[in-house]
Structure 1
Amino acid sequence: MAWRERELHPERSPRHFYGAEIRRHRKANGDMSLSRLAQILNFSTGHLSRIEGGESRPPAGLSEKLDAAFNTDGSFQRYYPLAAREPFPEKYSAYLKLVDTAVRHESYTLTVPGLLQSEAFANALLSASEPFATPEEREEWLTGRMARQTRLHQEPPPCRYWFVLDESAIRRPVGGPEVMAEQLSLLIAASRQRHITIQVLPLSAGAHSEMGGTSLMLLTLPDRKMVAYEEGSRWGRLFEDAQDVEHRLDLYNLLRGQALSPQDTDALFSSAREGFTNALRGTVRPLAEE
């Protein structure tokens, strides 16, 4: 079966328009292949493919090379400022806009949620989850993730946060014992903030609705409307229909009811941190390995 290029949607966003323009000029230049253009630009073919498809933000310096390759008199340099403002893939954009205005944020995640991740933990997680991304792409995503934490620490708090974490989030040694000890310290500090509640859903709770690998977020907006968002490792979906949202709220309340109390969660964090700290000293194995 012949290989077919993916369909582009330049109307979706400046990032998609930028990518579509790359393809348009490739086609206008003797139907140049993507690999040939990457060779001319001295650029990664895989990275260039993701930029053309609107999946990745163009890095600084690429626009000048494209203008030179296509003789476009600065067109790509003029497109770049708009395309560069979008640090997140399109599938997250609608959800993230709502996150920025929510007055209540409730979530269940299999790992430490992005809003509570240390920079070292986030970097290790991104390196593992996107092993074929370039260092520039991972740095872009890391910067965006860290920037999103600003609202969590505003005074007065603009939002009430309730996080339910799967126990595996603190058992799996992402980045090693030192990174995990730091991450657990951050979780302990966050859990003691007046506008943040954290619970751990223990492995002993057994089967539950989200154990198939889905994260669930519920946002209450200023007009008291609630929306839900589900996310897998390679997809995300926003729910606004009242019946869909109510169903997911019921599921979340079941998860919250199965989770440890905030006090027991705090004790578990401290115990897990001690295990990883001892592992650093070489005294015992980390708790995650017991």
Structure 2
Amino acid sequence: MTFRPQPLSPFASTRHYFGSELRRHRERANLSLVQLADIVNSSKSTLARIETAELMPPPDMPSCLDIAFGTDQYFTGLYELAKQDIHPDKYKRYMNFEARAEVIEQYGAQALPGLFQTEQYARELLRRQEHLTAEMVDERVTARMSRQERQQSSNPPFRWAIIDESVLRRQVGSRSCMHQQLASLLEQVDTPNSKVQVMPFSAGPHSLLGGALTLLTLPDGTSVAYEESIEAGHLYEDPDAVKKWRRQYDVLRANSHSLAESAAMIRTAMEDYRP
């Protein structure tokens, strides 16, 4: 049976445009899907699904395509735009702020903030959302991990996280998954670019107990706040509203364990999850 490429709709989204440009460059180079798959260390089916926008390209593929086609950073740039398509529209403004923020302060009540999650931990959390298919889980994990790429740049944001003690005590995935996650968290407790505090049970209830909060300080000195509950989130840009959330965060920080005490608590929790 003769293989017939599926029609494309390049202007439906940046993700669709990435796929159509992949096919255009591949055909111009007279390469079949199989031939290109060998060059970029992928599979024919994966490339075919990327061309039709059924699948987001993995993070390492754009640079491989640029090398294969000699397109400098063309596909790398398209990927930076296309990966925003994974996020629902209501989160895109927040993601734009986060990508520019110089300081990121977060509180997580029931799970670690996404910027501190390992890939396996993130996958286990997302798998619990029953409306997400396996493919959607893969895409959300890719999107979450891509948000951490700035941390490896020459100018990373400064991150401060306060996590509730329940995050350490609730097992997500296997014991090995939790042990690896806490080991990664421990490495970020006190570095030049990250600080982590634990809010202990002994501190009692507080104003942020029911949700999660992120404060973003932008290059021009302005701040925004993002408050998130189970199924909804709200972005606050009004200075008075942001000031209210910052006040609550500062109170939480003052009542949390010190960096040294937090590190000790994380080490103790790690022992409980040792494989």
Paired residue secondary structure (2:127): helix
User: 1:117 matched to which residue of 2?
Assistant: 117
Cα 1:194/1:63, change in 2 over 3 Å: closer
Q: How does 1:261-280 map to 2 (within 5 A)?
A: 261-277=258-274, 280=275
Tell whether the 8 Å contact from 2:226 to 2:236 is kept in structure 1 after alignment. yes
1:251 matches 2:252: no
The secondary structure found in structure 1 opposite 2:163 is strand
- Equivalent position of 1:161 in the other structure: 159
AA partner of residue 239 (structure 2): A
Q: Distance in 2 between matches of 1:93 and 1:63?
A: 19
Matched-pair contact (CA < 8 Å) for 2:84–2:92: no
What is the distance in 2 between the residues matched to 1:270 and 1:96? 32
Residue 240 (structure 1) aligns with: 237
- The structural deviation recorded for 1:203 is 1.2
Cα distance change, pair 180–83 in 1 and its aligned pair in 2 (3 A): closer
The 1:63–1:88 alpha-carbon spacing in structure 2 relative to 1, beyond 3 Å, is closer
Mind listing any 5+ residue stretches in structure 1 that lack a counterpart? 1-12, 19-58, 65-80, 281-290
Within a 5 Å distance, the mapping from 1:213-228 to structure 2 comes to: 214-228=211-225
* Cα distance, 1:233 vs structure 2: 2.2
SS of the residue corresponding to residue 211 of structure 1 reads coil
Partner of 1:204: 202
Amino acid at match of 2:97: L
Q: Give how far 1:109 is off.
A: 1.0
Identity of aligned residues (%): 36
Shift of 1:158: 3.1
Q: Is the 8 A contact 2:207 2:248 kept in 1?
A: yes
> Does the Cα contact within 8 Å between 1:105 and 1:161 map onto a contact in 2?
yes
Which amino acid is 1:122 matched to?
A
Going from structure 1 to structure 2, the CA distance change for 1:253 and 1:86 (only over 3 Å counts) comes to: same
Q: Distance in 1 between matches of 2:165 and 2:139?
A: 29
- 1:180 pairs with 2:150: no
Cα distance between partner residues in 2 of 1:131 and 1:139: 14
- Structure 1 residue 83: deviation in Å? 7.4
Check conservation: 1:91, 1:235, Cα contact below 8 A. no
Look up the equivalent residue of 1:118 and give its one-letter code. Answer: T
SS in 2 for 1:100: helix
Aligned to 1:287: none
- Distance (Å, rounded) in 2 between the aligned partners of 1:192 and 1:105: 15
Distance 2:96 2:12 in 1: 16
> How many Å separate the matches in 2 of 1:146 and 1:265?
25
- Does residue 102 of structure 1 match 2:101? yes
Aligned amino acid, residue 125 of structure 1: L
Q: Secondary structure at 1:86's aligned position in 2?
A: helix
Closer/same/farther in 2, CA of residues 84 and 143 from structure 1, 3 Å limit: closer
Tell me the distance in 1 between the aligned counterparts of 2:221 and 2:83.
Answer: 33
Distance 1:246 1:84, change over 3 A: closer
Q: Normalization by structure 2: what TM-score? A: 0.70
List runs of 5+ in structure 2 lacking aligned partners.
Answer: 1-10, 17-48, 55-78
- Contact kept, 8 Å, 2:106 with 2:160, in 1: the verdict is yes
SS of 2:140 mapped into structure 1: helix
Residue deviations 1:190-245 (CA, integer Å, cap 9, x gap): 22421100001111111111112x11111111010011111122111111111101
Cα 1:84/1:192, change in 2 over 3 Å: closer
